[in-house]
Each structure stands twice: as structure tokens, then as C-alpha cells.
Amino acid sequence: MNKVYLYSWLCAIIPVICSWEKGDGYISIDLIRQKTPRMQYLENPHLADKMGFGEWFHKPKPKPKPGNDSIALYRFLDYEFYAKIVIGHPGQTMNVALDTGWTLSWVLSAKCQVLTTPGCWFHNMYDHTRSSKYKKDGTPYVGNEGKYNLTGFYSYETISVAHSNVTNFRFVEMDNVPWTYLFSKVDGLLGLGIRGPKDDEPFFYALHRENNITNFLFSVYMNSLLLGIDNQLMVEMSSWDLFKTNIYTKHSSKMEQKFMTKLNFYR
């Protein structure tokens, strides 16, 4: 159990978001790094001006002061990774965050009132009426996040990762989220936290329930690479083969084009 807490703690300090595929004896998940606002601005320098908020990206004119002075450096939005999952049948692709602080998993619902909920704009939204695997629950959900609340309702559905399916997975369809989600790439969240007596089933517990993994373990491997970080999250066991593999050479084309890394659920 101590190993579970250690690995989960390591994961909790590294926000990652991913996409999945399957190999021989393991489930491999691509971690996709979102382009930073600076990079998007460099690629489209006049787009922000046309949309009316170009001045946000320009630093104010400095007020001259005598003598030496320090300069504050701020980091803004250079953090977001996301995973691609397929939910329902026929499948609907969603971008989800991986969060070791939550046991609950949720996605934006097609029932989101887009006219009054800007947080749903420009996102993929799950429509359970299109899925033959959907099962109704209907229990209301209210997430008190301090100043902002998330509301929705529980449902049951099949979630696919690589060639592995998690069936009858209980999650929340969010129909109201804070307006700040407008600036996020993700359409939901995949909970990977440690389950308490009254908590929802975390996704990797569901993987265990479906016999896709046999132990509740995950670990993090980090290696600095060009234009980003090569993160490796492994569930169930730590493999020293990872440290002997030339990851940059093996996945260089993906790295250069999509800033992709890997998350592995080992059997």
C-alpha cells in the first residue's frame, strides 16, 4: 500500500493528460502536450489582434527606475497535457485530464446549456443518446469547488483505451462548468486518485476490475527532451527496461510533430 501512495504522490505533482494504444503485455498511452499560448501566438501573430485581445500578449511599457532592479517571471498556461479516450458505442472521442487528486471521472455532456455556459464552448460534448452502451443512473452531482461549482448527473458507459474496454463505468455528465473551462483543451477528467470508503471508482480501479491490470500501482519517469518533457507513467510495475530504451529515437517523429510522450499501464 505504501508503494501505491508513493507512486500516486509522484503522479500528483505532475499534471499530465493523455491518449492510448496497446502493446504486447502492456497498455501504452500517448501524452499530448498542448501548444503553449506563446507558440500559438508566434504561429498566428495577427489572430489575437483580429479577435480584439492582442494587447494581452504585449508587455506594458516599463516605468524607468534608477539603479538596478529585479524582473518577475510568470508562467501562464504552459502546463496542459490531455488524453484521448473513446466513450460509448459508436465511440465518441474526448480529451480528458488525468488527475490523481480526483477519484471521480467526468465529461462534458451534450445537455450542457451552451447559451448560458461558456465553459462548454469549443469542446467535445458526450451525447448518450448516440450510444448503445449507455445506461441511465440520473443521480445529481454537485461539485463544490469553492468559488466555482460543477453540476451534472451520473451515468454508466463503456470507455475504451487502446484495445481494452472498461464496461459499466460510473461517471458524471457535466452540464454546467465554470466559464474558465473555455480556455482549456480538455473535455473532462479521468480520476486516478486513491479510493476512500465513500469515493467514486477511479478509472485505474476499473481497469483492475476488468482484469486489464493486476496491481494498483503507478509510477512516473521523466526525461527532458526537445520542446517539452518526456513523461512516463506506468501502472502496476516499474520496468527498468524503460530506462534502457532510447525513447527519443524511438518516438522522435511523434515528438517533433505532436510533442507526444507515453503513459503506460503495465500488466
Please report the DSSP string for 188-203 in residue order.
Answer: EEEE-SPP-TTSPPPH
Residue ranges per domain, the chain? 2-34+79-266
Residue 58, pLDDT score: 60
pLDDT (tens digit per residue) in 110-124: 999 888 889 999 999
Residue 24, pLDDT score: 57
Distance CA 250, CA 109 (A): 37
Q: What is the mean pLDDT of the chain?
A: 69
Architecture of domain 2-34+79-266: Beta Barrel (2.40)
Helix ranges restricted to H, 67-172: none
The residues near 239 (Cβ < 8 Å, ≥ 6 apart) are 266
Q: Give one word for 202, left, alpha or beta, with left for phi > 0 and alpha for psi -120 to 50.
A: beta
Q: Extract the residue ranges of the chain whose pLDDT is less than 70.
A: 1-30, 32, 37-38, 41-42, 45, 47-81, 145-147, 162-163, 217-267
Residue 156, pLDDT score: 97
Give the three-state DSSP class for 109: strand
Cell of 172: 458524471
What is this structure's pTM? 0.62
- The size of the chain, in residues, is 267
Residue 80, pLDDT score: 61
- H-run or E-run covering 239: none
pLDDT (tens digit per residue) in 59-76: 555 554 443 333 323 233
Residue 10, pLDDT score: 45
Residue 183, pLDDT score: 83
DSSP letter, residue 261: E
Residue 128, pLDDT score: 95
CB count in 10 Å sphere of residue 156? 15
Q: Give one word for 168, left, alpha or beta, with left for phi > 0 and alpha for psi -120 to 50.
A: left
Give the three-state DSSP class for 206: helix
- H-run or E-run covering 39: helix 37-43
- H-run or E-run covering 161: strand 148-161
Q: What is the DSSP string of 52-106?
A: T-GGGGSPPPPPP-SS---------STT-EEEEEEETTTTEEEEEEEETT-S--E
Distance CA 63, CA 182 (A): 34
